[in-house]
Amino acid sequence: MTTFTALTTLGDETRAQALGEALEELDPAPVGVGVFELEDGSGLWEVGAYFTDTPDDIALTLMAAAFGAAEFAVSELPDIDWVAHVRRELKPVEAGRFFVYGSHDADKLPVDRIGLLIEAAMAFGTGHHGTTLGCLRALDRLASGGFQGKNVIDVGCGTAVLAMAAAKIWPDMVLATDIDQVAVDVAEANVMANGLDGRVECLEAMGFENPVIHKRAPYDLVFANILKGPLIQIAPDMAKHTETGSLAILSGLLTTQASDVLAAYTAAGFTEVEREEIGDWTTLVLRRA
């Protein structure tokens, strides 16, 4: 099956979201539409649509002009088994005591490592990206230093790899949340696949806005591997849902964005414990003062 992509960028989130909604009304209709903030510090938003029928170039040109976006770049994707391709490309990842792998590499799990099974089809949060890797390494260092999480939450959990890592080393229930129900469903499937049913609770929530989250506070460890904007936005709520001595592992931010995020959390009552830079990405470990 032939798949076409149509991608553009613009500098305003509101217009980007509106353009994404408008794309869904095209004929032929796209099979999927995505709106994402580019993680390069440019402030631009990418709007993309995927089609199984050749998209209407004229309609796309008019739509880009109407919303003040750059001209759409339309491409035809090669007919590739992408899951098989990803399986070949994604090798197991070691992060301290943790070993993140797909089922096709199950025979490579070392006996002295804690395995985290994440299938290649669920590519976001496999541990290969510098942000997830940084969070796993930070967790490993905290545990090696004697910290034991007794009330842990993973905000914006994606595949729930961080929540599962915590549940693998500590006995208490871990909470994993995401704003997208599809991500929550993926997280639940991963929890089951890793034999952690009943150990990791997955639910849909925007930041800390959920009665279950409020009831279980205060948390002694918070993961938030999301983007700069949401990280800054939830800083006051994270302070409200933690207490003196609580820790936070933050990532999803470029190294150039770390100072802005740290400033927001310093204002909210956190102090920096450590940081790690992996490529262009930074992971911060903070303590609630």
At residue 254, what are phi and psi to the nearest 5 degrees? -70, 155
Residue 194 is assigned to a ligand binding site: no
Cis-peptide, bond into residue 218, ω within 30° of zero: yes
Residue 282 is assigned to a ligand binding site: no
At residue 64, what are phi and psi to the nearest 5 degrees? -60, -45
Using the CB atoms, write b or e for 12-30: b if 16+ within 10 Å.
eeebbeebbeebeebeeeb
Residue 210 is assigned to a ligand binding site: no
Give the pair of three-digit tokens for residue 9. 């960028």
Picking from 236, 262, 282, the residue whose alpha carbon sits closest to that of residue 133 is: 282
Whether 252 and 131 have beta carbons less than 8 Å apart is answered as yes
Give the pair of three-digit tokens for residue 79. 């007919």
Residue 156 is assigned to a ligand binding site: yes
CA distance 186 to 241: 26
Mark the binding-site residues, compressed into ranges: 132, 156, 178, 225
Residues annotated within the binding site for S-adenosyl-L-methionine are 132, 156, 178, 225
